[in-house]
Structure 1
Amino acid sequence: MALRVGVIGTGAIGEEHIRRIQFKLVGAEIVAVTDVNLERAAEVIKDIPGARVEKTGQAVIEAADVDAIVVTSWGATHEEYVLGSIAAGKPVFCEKPLATTAAGAKRIVDAEMAAGKKLVQVGFMRRYDSGYRMLKEVVDNGSIGDSLIVHCAHRNPEVGESYMTDMAIHDTVIHEIDVIRWLLNDDYVSAQVLMPKKTKNAFSHLSDPQIVLLETAEGRRVDVEVFVNAKYGYDIQCEVVGEEGIARLPEPQSVVMRKDAKYGTNILMDWKKRFIDSYDVELQEWIDSTAKGEVDGPTSWDGYRAAVTADACVKAQTSGAIEAIPAEPKPDFYK
């Protein structure tokens, strides 16, 4: 029997997830959706037989024919809907952020532990990218010796006027915060943010680029260049420096051409194209594990620790100082 899924939020990412679950992946079907714009929700599911629009997110959660929940609504609502799903005993896939504050994410962790069963997966899709998985295999098998330093870059061609300085952390570097923590199997203990010379292409209210410096519990150093007005394209870089070698994240597959006295390849401009395959893998694995009553992906503990780290980074944006990140042992529940 197919996993019957209810989706809360039918904006851009919500619509994409609805369509991939219904028409591309196997083992699940969309039965109910909702959005703050109910007309939009109806439009998104018009070609899905039997799917319906509910008036509220809680109605989707409580529906008897909904087995599992996907939360793709506005970030500030995530905590409410994830807590509601836990209370209903239903598995929930929540796009990042798990909550907009570390305190909110901790409430989800506490509720899930009190329920006695892991139900929450967070949408950190980088872990499902084939390149990052190959890089992790190299790190895990010791091919380059112990990892010492990680160099990262997260570059966008441009951002909208509503993008603020702190969003460089909460909306952008949050992906590096999670995936490097996963890659190294190590947690962070301090953060610092440096502000280089500002690009002329940034809005007056935005500091861009920024350099985020992280230290891990085992003494590794991570630097992340975040540059959201890089203009030339969407470019994700990651290099792990080990004791015996260096490993780099593979570039996206593309055709190299020699033409007009030039040698080169195209660079992507859209993040959705860069990671579209990872979304497919992520949600298929969520469907498969949920059908078995398991959570195999990023947990609410991962979402919480990412939020704690992000909060320290935002504090460091203002202070310019090295900010401590509170160390917490992972509960046995999440091991």
Structure 2
Amino acid sequence: MTTTTPDLRVAVVGAGMMGADHVARITSTISGATVVAVVDPDTARADAAAATAPGAITAADFDEALAATEIDAVIIATPGFLHEAVLLPALDRGLAILCEKPLTTDEAASLRVLEAEQKLDRPHIQVGFMRRFDQGYRDLRALVASGEHGALLALHCAHRNATTPPSYSEEMLILDSVIHEIDAVPFIAGEPIVAVEVKKPRRNSLAPEGLREPQFVILETESGTMAIVEINVNVQFGYQVTTDAVFESGVASIGRETGLQLTTAARSAVAVPPTFKERFGAAYDTQVQRWVDAAHRGTIDGPSAWDGYLASVVATAGVEAQKTGRRVEVDYAMPKPSFYDLPGVVSPGE
């Protein structure tokens, strides 16, 4: 006799590009989960996303969804400054949580989330730093850990978008974009970031008025490894994320060849993904499937709220460095609580 486990009943909060993508992903790609609610105050947007998830209700806010249907888990895909307002009631209900980056947009809010989660029996929050599930990043982390080419000396990272909307602010370069590198650098290097500096070259005239970019964000790790992150979000040609790792006896690169390379008529060209969906689609699929599987087991399988807190501290320091032009040291409020010592979870070296 075989038994089946009921699907995880998931509410997706936020029906913008990322939230709608998650609704479609769970419906078409992920096993063991069903979208039962799509939450967004924009009715048309909620309806459009829910149309890809047969049977899902729509709601204007999370409380309305909780009152309308049974929910086991929530994916939070709202702007970062709205995350805490969903995280706290979700924790209060003991739901499984996948929270898109950042955990929150400031250190104080992240500490409040950590405090609330540690009142439970175990971690419930997984943070959506999906690059840890990308094969290139995992291979690079393994290469660093192997020591095969000596110590990791430096990282050259590029994070490029074709365009940004007029509402995109200078702080968002750090809080919404470089936040990925702020998590990926400790993951690759296996040690925390201890200082941040921001340099501002000549402004791109194609950027929205008032936005000064590109910028270079310099992240320094505990042993002195330096990551130089080019954040360049109006580069016009597409979406490109690359990393070059400089070792004592070699250089490794990821992210450059994700599509067709064509050489013809004395010219060579490589296809560039138009959006994040093409560049990291497989990583998102793996992340969500592993989160669903872990939720069925009563755990998480990826970056925890503690990792989200660490990133928020560095991002806060990054915004200060951006405003002042100074090198800012990162001051973590406390050591890692044993509550977050999770065997088998994808995490940077301790």
Would the alpha carbon gap of residues 31 and 233 (structure 1) be closer, same or farther in structure 2, given more than 3 Å must change? closer
Aligned pair partner of 2:249 in 234, 244, 257? 244
Is 1:141 the counterpart of 2:146 in the alignment? yes
**In the superposition, relative to structure 1, how do residues 56 and 82 fare at CA in structure 2: closer, same or farther (>3 Å)?**
same
Q: Which amino acid aligns with 1:130?
A: Q
Match of 1:164 in 2: 169
Cα drift, residue 82 of structure 1: 0.7
Deviation at 1:55, TM superposition (A): 4.4
Question: Structure 1 pair 9/157, CA: closer, same or farther in 2 (3 Å)?
Answer: closer
**Deviation of 1:113 (Å):** 1.0
| Contact 1:61 1:88 survives alignment (8 Å) | no
Distance in 2 separating the partners of 1:161 and 1:289: 39
1:334 aligns with 2:344: no
Give the percent of matched residue pairs that are identical in Structure 1 and Structure 2: 37
Q: Is the 8 A contact 1:301 1:334 kept in 2?
A: yes
CA contact (8 A) 1:128 1:279 kept: yes
Residue 74 of structure 1, aligned match among 74, 79, 95: 79
- The Cα of 1:161 is off from its aligned counterpart by 1.7
Greater CA drift, 259-268 or 184-193: 259-268
What is the CA-CA distance between 1:234 and the residue it aligns to? 2.1
Gaps of 5+ in 1: none
Corresponding residue for residue 103 of structure 1: 108
1:308 counterpart = 2:313: yes
Pairing 1:32-181 to 2, within 5 Å after superposition:
32-46=37-51, 48-61=53-66, 65-181=70-186
Aligned to 1:210: 215
Distance 2:48 2:164 in 1: 28
Paired letter, 2:28: F
Comparing 64-73 with 281-290, greater Cα deviation is found at: 64-73
Shift of 1:201: 2.0
Q: Which amino acid aligns with 1:334?
A: Y
Q: Is the Cα contact below 8 Å between 2:76 and 2:97 reproduced in 1?
A: yes
Partner of 2:344 in structure 1? none
Q: Which of 248, 258, 261 does residue 256 from structure 1 map onto?
A: 261
Match of 2:228 among 223, 229, 235: 223
Give the length in aligned residue pairs: 335
The one-letter code of the counterpart of 2:324 is S
Query: What TM-score, normalized to structure 2?
Result: 0.90
Asked if the contact 2:207–2:234 (Cα under 8 Å) also holds between the matched residues in 1, the reply is yes
Q: Structure 1 172/46 Cα, relative in aligned 2: closer, same or farther at 3 Å?
A: closer
> 1:232 is matched with which residue?
237
Structure 1 partner of 2:278:
273
Deviates more, 1:304-313 or 1:324-333: 324-333
Counterpart Cα distance in 2 of 1:208 and 1:85: 37
State the match for 2:346 in structure 1: none
Q: State how far apart, in whole Å, the 2-side matches of 1:142 and 1:99 are.
A: 34
1:238 Cα deviation from its structure 2 partner: 0.8
C-alpha RMSD of the superposition: 1.8
Which residue number corresponds to residue 318 of structure 1?
A: 323
8 A Cα contact 1:27 1:287, kept in partner = yes
**TM-score, normalised via structure 1 length:** 0.94
Q: What stretches of structure 1 move > 6 A for 4+ residues in a row?
A: none
Q: Distance in 1 between matches of 2:149 and 2:90?
A: 42
